[in-house]
Amino acid sequence: MELTLTPLEFARRTRRLHPHREAVVDGELRLTYEQFFDRCDRWSSALQGMGVEQGDRVAYIAPNTHAQLESFYAVPQLGAVLVPVNFRLTADDFVYIVNHSGAKVLCVHADQLDAVDSVRDQMPGVERFVALAGARDGWEDYESLVASATPDFMRPEIAETDLLTINYTSGTTARPKGVMITHRNAYMNSVGTLLHLRVGLGEKYLWTLPMFHANGWTYTWTVTAAGGTHVCLPVMDPARVFELIRTEEVSWLCAAPTVLIMLSNTPADVRGAVPPGVHVVTAGASPAAETIERLEEDFGWTVTHVYGLTETTPFITVCEPLPEHRELSVRERGAVKARQGVELITSGELRVVDESGAEVPWDGRTVGQITVRGNVVMKGYYNDPEATERAMGDGWFRTGDAAVTHPDGYVEIQDRLKDVIISGGENISSVEVEGVLLRHPAVLEVAIVGVAHERWGETPRASVVLREGASATEEEIIAFARDNLAHFKAPTQVEFVEQLPKTATGKIQKFVLRGGASAVSRQ
């Protein structure tokens, strides 16, 4: 009999082969795989006792805790569908996502209980409200339910095309959409990750990436498949990150480029000794070559850039190192590592196409849109056939990312299509300009957006966060850009800000920056 391609198969194997290996570290709590899966089974049993059936949705609003991690096994093995919600959203967002998904049970971390209490009367479909910690009136206590349940429950037959999770997009310009991820999608992404990014048996993975974000890039299952240890981190705190890397001997972590900037610029007296040898996987935005160089040269870490979207489970490409890359200089190697790379063995087919749908030349110059089809592409948007048709009606998912393909087949994103700046008929990649400005010694973070210009149509504007104790003027930043770029690509405006607006996963919200820009530039 053929086995279903599902990440639950990883749990079965690891439970059988490595029951006594450490599975989870969450503060003072330490669980072996035997203990971890026993808890998962008990929670499955409790959910089944609440009336949760195959196909029902169970939503979670929680940071990176052991209880959140347990949801990625306890809910799917019932044949139910997990809905991991961004816990940093507003109460109104919680209402929309919970109602749109049709969640039957809602599990909430202690820090979000007040927000949910303020709107729970607007969630008529939720039958049970469970507090993962800090239970009070009107809430059932998760730990009590787990402790009182038996580990026995009825396991349904699960098809690999069944829904595993519904993950909601950030919804920066419209209501968030529910991305339907199947068991097969997640299985294939995890296998591809293990082929290209080889987490070893017993190695420790630090949860710097939110588990709710694209299912933690499927590392919620990938680490288990490898027999590794999940080290939970509920709050992103650089000092705590470095402490856990030292004390737990962490060897893997994932993070958006903004988090890597934060870590690479943490003062030495805060970070303490930095153990070398950590493998860093970064995605979510294009990392600057400067950031990669710092982590590799100063910390002795290895950075691998991957690319994808929630709709692709999420990995489409990996910037896999080639033997010839070893002969490059540090700066040249950093520039290559900042590219998005090539298809994972398991992800499917990727093409960069022009407006007619033809693949662009592999010349590193011709810009097109990244499209993809294959094993990791979502089933569609939940209860939104129109959006599904727009995104992938011909079988190819359109990413909305503008990119070039280099002669070696490595893809490099130039921008989001909507963020490309057209100045005097010339296309300007905000990613390229940002990468140059990040080499300025005073610049910590930067975002480039296009603003209206009465002569050129658009012109680049830079929003800059300076390093602590550093100073720079608008004229200095513009001059630096003009010294290192074609002059038409240099920003004509610079504003200095204390912080850049970001999503919960560290992506810079450029639409916010554009909204605050002057209507017309006359520089």
Distance of alpha carbon 306 from alpha carbon 343, whole angstroms: 10
Mean pLDDT, rounded, for 223-231: 98
pLDDT, residue 171, reads 54
* DSSP output for 32-84: EHHHHHHHHHHHHHHHHHTT--TT-EEEEE--SSHHHHHHHHHTGGGT-EEEE
Q: What is the mean pLDDT of residues 318-334?
A: 88
CATH number at 236-416: 3.40.50.12780
Per-residue confidence at 325, pLDDT binned at 50, 70, 90? confident
Locate all alpha helices (DSSP H) within 328-419, ordered by sequence.
330-337, 385-392
Predicted pLDDT of residue 181: 98
CATH fold of 420-515 reads GMP Synthetase; Chain A, domain 3 (3.30.300)
pLDDT at 348 > cutoff 60: yes
What 8-state DSSP symbol labels residue 335? Answer: H
Evaluate if pTM is beyond 0.75: yes
Instruction: Say yes or no to pLDDT of 522 above 80.
Output: no
pLDDT band at 166 (very low <50, low <70, confident <90, very high): very high
- Between 513 and 360, the more confident residue is 360
Q: What is the mean pLDDT of residues 494-509?
A: 84
Residue 173 has pLDDT above 70, yes or no: no
**Which strand (E) or helix (H) includes residue 231?**
strand 229-231
Rounded CA gap, 294 and 280, in Å? 13
State the pairing for strand pair 279-282/302-308. parallel
Mean pLDDT, rounded, for 236-262: 95
Cβ within 8 Å of residue 174, ≥6 positions away: none
pLDDT value, residue 221 = 98
Torsion of CA 207, 213, 218, 224, to 10 degrees: 30
Q: For 10-37, b where at least 16 C-beta lie within 10 A, e where not — what string?
A: bbeebbeebeeebbbbbeeeebbbebbb
Kindly tell me the sign of the dihedral angle through the C-alpha atoms of 261, 266, 271, 273.
Answer: positive
> To which H or E segment does residue 445 belong?
strand 443-453
Mean of pLDDT over the chain: 92
DSSP bridge pairs for 318: 306, 342
> How far is C-alpha 13 from the geometric centre of its chain's CA atoms?
26
User: What percent of the chain shows pLDDT beyond 90?
Assistant: 78
What is the residue extent of each domain of the chain? 27-182, 236-416, 420-515
* Alpha carbon distance 395, 391 (integer Å): 9
CB 172, CB 509: distance < 8 Å: yes
**Positive or negative CA dihedral for 355, 357, 359, 361?**
negative
Whole-number percent of the chain with pLDDT over 70: 96
Residues linked to residue 464 through DSSP beta bridges, in sequence order: 446, 496
Of the candidate CATH numbers 3.40.50.12780, 3.30.470.20, 2.40.50.100, 1.20.1630.10, the domain formed by 27-182 belongs to 3.40.50.12780
Q: Taking residues 287-315, what's their average pLDDT?
A: 92
Predicted local distance difference test score (pLDDT) of residue 521:
36
Residue 505 confidence (pLDDT): 63
Cis peptide before 314 (omega within 30 of 0): yes
The number of CA neighbours under 13 Å toward the Cβ of 504 is: 21
CA 214 distance to own-chain centroid: 6
Lowest pLDDT segment from 82-96, 217-231, 391-405, 445-459: 445-459
Torsion from C-alpha of 7, 12, 18, 24, nearest 10 degrees: 50
pLDDT at 509: 84
pLDDT at 516: 55
Give yes or no on whether 236-416 and 420-515 have one common fold: no
Is the pLDDT assigned to residue 24 strictly greater than 90?
A: yes
Q: Which of 14-28, 163-177, 217-231 has the lowest mean pLDDT?
A: 163-177
Q: Give the number of C-alpha atoms closer than 13 A to the C-alpha of residue 112, restricted to the C-beta side.
A: 27
- pLDDT category at 472 given cuts 50, 70, 90 is very high
Mean pLDDT of 365-385: 96
More confident: 57 or 505: 57
Read off the pLDDT band of 285 (50, 70, 90): confident
- Residue 523 above 50 pLDDT? no
- Sheet of 140-141: strand order equals 140-141, 128-131, 103-108, 57-61, 81-85, 163-168, 178-182, 380-381
Distance CA 334, CA 97 (A): 39
Query: What pLDDT sits at residue 384?
Result: 96
Beta bridge partners of 239: none
Are the beta carbons of 477 and 508 closer than 8 angstroms? no
15-19, 99-103, 492-496: which has the minimum mean pLDDT? 492-496
If DSSP codes are grouped into helix, strand and coil, which group holds residue 331?
helix
Nearest-angstrom CA–CA distance, 339 and 304: 10
pLDDT for res 520: 32
Dihedral-angle region of residue 313 (phi above 0 means left; psi in -120 to 50 means alpha; beta otherwise): left
Residue bearing tokens 């280099």 = 406
